[in-house]
Structure 1
Amino acid sequence: MRRRTLLSTTGALGAAALSATTAGRAAAAPSARPAGVSAPPGADGPLRVPVILFDGVEELDFAAPYEALSAAGHFTEREVRVRYVTVDGPRSVTAAYGSRVRVDHRWSLDDADLLVVPGAATRAVRNQVCGPRSGAASFPGRRPKRPARD
C-alpha cells in the first residue's frame, strides 16, 4: 500500500506545483504578452496527459497515474485532461493480469503536454511505442533476474 500512498502524495504535490504555476501566471501583469501575440499552444487550455497503453502493461502502472493526475485537476484552476491512448489507434488492450481495457484514442504528439508511459520499459514495449528500429536509449531493456541463492 505504500505505492498508493506515494502516488497520492505525488498527485497532491503535483497539483500544488501546478496550482502555484497557475497562480504565478495569474499574478503576472496582464500585459506580459505584447498585443497580438498569442500564448503558446495549449498554455491556456487544459493540461493534456495521454497515458500510453500496450499489451502486457501492469494494471496498477496505468490506473494509479490516471487516478493521481485526474485528482490533480480538482486542486488547480487549470483543467487536467487525462486519457488512455495507444500508438496504433482504438483497440482493446490486454493488461498483465488479463484485464481488458478498451482504448478509444490514438496517441499524437500534438495532443500531449505531458506523456505517461507506464510500467517497465522492455524491448517489446519500446518496439510498440517507438518502433522496432527506434534505438530509443530512454527505454532500456530489463536486466535478467539473478538466480535465487540457496
Structure 2
Amino acid sequence: MSVAEWLRDRLTGEGIPDTTPVAERPQWMRDGMRAMEIFGYDDLRVVGSPGYQDILWSIIGRDVATPVSRDVHALLVAEHGNPQDRNAVAVWLGGQRVGRLATDDAGRLRRGLIRLQRQHRRAVALPGHVGGDRDGLGVYLNYDAAAFGVRQRT
C-alpha cells in the first residue's frame, strides 16, 4: 500500500474515498462491496439520463414491456475535479454511471454524503426506480433529507 492509499484510507475510512475523478469508475466500487442504504420519502431526480440510455436499457433489459418501472438501488459518488460543477455527485447503477444529481441538489447533499461515507465507512446507496418508455428512461431516487443534514425542498 502506497503512502497516498494509506492516507486516503485514514481520512475516509476503510478504502471508501469520498471522491472520484469525473467519469472514472471508483476503484472501491467492485462486486461484493458493502453500501449503506439511506431510505426516505423525499424525491430526488437524476439528470443527464438521456446520455446514458444505452446503459439504462442494458440494466433493465431491452425486451421488457413498456412502460418500465424497475426498482433499483443507486450509489452516490462525489466527483472530484468536475470542471462544470465542483459539487458534482454522480449516480451509479450496476457499476455504471447513469447520470448525476442536479446542480442545486448536489450542492445541498454533497457535504452530507461525504459525512455519511466517513461516519459509516461505506458507500451510500439510495432506493428508487428506473422508469419510462421506449422514448426514454429516467432514474428517480428517494432519500431522507434529515440524514443528509438538509431540509427538504418545498
TM tier relative to shorter chain: under 0.3
Structure 1 or 2, whichever has the larger Rg, is 1
Determine which structure has the larger strand proportion and give its number: 2
The TM-score, its normalising length taken from structure 1, stands at 0.26
Higher relative contact order (CA 8 A, sep 6+): 2
Determine which structure has the larger helix proportion and give its number: 1
